[in-house]
Amino acid sequence: MKTNEKTDETGTEEFARLTDPYRRELLAYAYRMLGSIHDAEDLVQEVYLRAWRAYAEFDGKASLRTWLYRITTNACLNALAHSSRRVMPSGLAEPTEIPPPPGTRAPEVSWLEPLSERLIGRVPEDPAAIVASRAGLRLALIAALQYLPGRQRAVVILRDVLAWPAAEVAELLEMTSTGVNSTLLRARARLERLVPASDEITEPDEPAQRELLDRYARAFEAVDIPAITRLLTEQATWEMPPVPQWFAGRDAIARLLAARLSRGPGYNRLVPTHANGQPAFAMYLRRDDGHLHAHSIQVLTVTSSGIVHIASFIDETLFAQFGLPNTFD
């Protein structure tokens, strides 16, 4: 009995040592597939349990990484077959002009969720790899991927985001290389209609972006709505899951902010962070007890022309994944 226990312990240690380096990239992959960090974390936990149970049968014909991706892909496809598509408000209806009453929610909708970069490890050192990594996590891409069938989703992520060879993707998905390439072409055609062109989301250089974000935070905390709207492009949009309404254009956004930020300076606090390879802010509201309470995670799409999109995820449960407290003085 002691010998068996020792063998099991050794096998567990070996499994953990060999598979743990892939956990964060599998989490990012599952997030891209599912559009929810909570679902992705649960799924990866289940994937590692399945992999551990099947580890004795792993024959080494494929790499360990490919084997783990196969298990993760199958788990994602199974989950997608039994769940609703994750969406943003802009995917449900046309923009509105009138701010909704406070407390408006649509909890029955499966909303897209942001991803904190701290969950997927350090960024690559190579500048080109950094750009590719960020582009593969942008909210616009994640939202667009949710409109693809599960298998097309997997092919796009593996081929275009992770740069796997067609033959390797074909082996993982049990397809032919021709089938993979055909699936990829159909998926790309759909995504081209949903994702902004790369030249439309060209970011300013780092000093210019930092200066713009500083001005945005100062204006927001001061409730200087004209200053906020001057930082937006004319076609800027604002979304607030789980609020189903969304707003397009400076005037509509200004009316929304006037209705939502009516208490004046001192009641809003923005803490810089990052999500989905994009600049973000954690927004806190001061309540009657005098403390600042978690309210939302704002993810900004910043271009050389200004801010083109703000996704404000109103969900205090998201703050934990960003390593931020729910309350502070």
The whole model's pTM is what? 0.90
Token pair belonging to 183: 């699936």
Q: What is the pLDDT of residue 10?
A: 63
Q: What is the pLDDT of residue 176?
A: 96
Beta carbons of 313 and 297 less than 8 angstroms apart:
yes
The identity of residue 228, as a single letter, is I
Q: What is the pLDDT of residue 60?
A: 79
Angstrom distance (rounded) from CA 219 to CA 221: 6
pLDDT of 1 > 80? The answer is: no
Band (12; pLDDT cuts 50, 70, 90): confident
Band (6; pLDDT cuts 50, 70, 90): very low
- The CATH number that domain 84-147+194-329 falls under is 3.10.450.50
102 vs 19, residue with greater confidence: 19
Tens digit of each residue's pLDDT (9 = 90 or more) over 30-39: 999 999 999 9
- 3-state percent breakdown (helix, strand, coil) of the chain, nearest 5: 55, 15, 30
Nearest to 145 by CA among 195, 199, 180: 195
Tens digit of each residue's pLDDT (9 = 90 or more) over 131-161: 455 678 999 999 999 999 999 999 999 999 9
Beta strands, E only, the chain: 232-240, 243-248, 268-275, 278-286, 292-303, 306-313, 327-328
Over residues 64-69, mean pLDDT: 95
Q: What is the pLDDT of residue 11?
A: 73
The identity of residue 30, as a single letter, is A
Q: What is the pLDDT of residue 205?
A: 85
Q: What is the pLDDT of residue 126?
A: 45
Angstrom distance (rounded) from CA 156 to CA 162: 9
Over residues 98-107, mean pLDDT: 85
Mean pLDDT, the chain, rounded, equals: 90
Angstrom distance (rounded) from CA 59 to CA 132: 33
Band (78; pLDDT cuts 50, 70, 90): very high
SS3 138: coil
Token pair belonging to 44: 């990866």
Q: What is the pLDDT of residue 181?
A: 96
Partners of residue 294 on adjacent β-strands: 284
Q: What is the pLDDT of residue 103?
A: 77
Q: What is the pLDDT of residue 9?
A: 64
How distant is the alpha carbon of residue 88 from its chain centre?
12
Nearest to 221 by CA among 173, 269, 272, 288: 269
User: If you ran DSSP here, which 8-state letter would residue 300 be given?
Assistant: E
Q: What is the pLDDT of residue 107?
A: 85
SS3 122: coil
Q: What is the pLDDT of residue 122?
A: 53
298 vs 57, residue with greater confidence: 298
Could you name the CATH architecture of 1-83? Answer: Orthogonal Bundle (1.10)
Band (56; pLDDT cuts 50, 70, 90): confident
pLDDT of 211 > 90? The answer is: yes
The residue extents of the domains of the chain are: 1-83, 84-147+194-329
Please state, as a whole number, how many other Cβ atoms lie within 10 Å of the Cβ of residue 157.
Answer: 23
* Residue 99: half-sphere exposure toward Cβ, Cα within 13 Å: 16
Q: What is the pLDDT of residue 200?
A: 56
Q: What is the pLDDT of residue 240?
A: 96
Angstrom distance (rounded) from CA 14 to CA 17: 5
Q: What is the pLDDT of residue 133?
A: 58
SS3 135: helix
Tens digit of each residue's pLDDT (9 = 90 or more) over 220-277: 999 999 999 999 999 999 999 999 999 999 999 999 999 988 677 888 999 999 999 9
Domain pair 1-83 / 84-147+194-329, same fold: no
Q: What is the pLDDT of residue 105?
A: 86
pLDDT of 198 > 60? The answer is: no
φ, ψ at 120 (rounded to 5°): -115, 15
Could you identify the residue written with the tokens 């600042």?
292
Band (5; pLDDT cuts 50, 70, 90): very low
Q: What is the pLDDT of residue 140?
A: 93
Can you spell out the DSSP letters for 141-167? Answer: HHHHHTTS-HHHHHHHIIIIIS---HH
Tens digit of each residue's pLDDT (9 = 90 or more) over 111-136: 999 999 889 865 444 444 444 556 78
CA angle 89, 79, 65 (to 5 degrees): 110
Please state, as a whole number, how many other Cβ atoms lie within 10 Å of the Cβ of residue 303.
Answer: 19
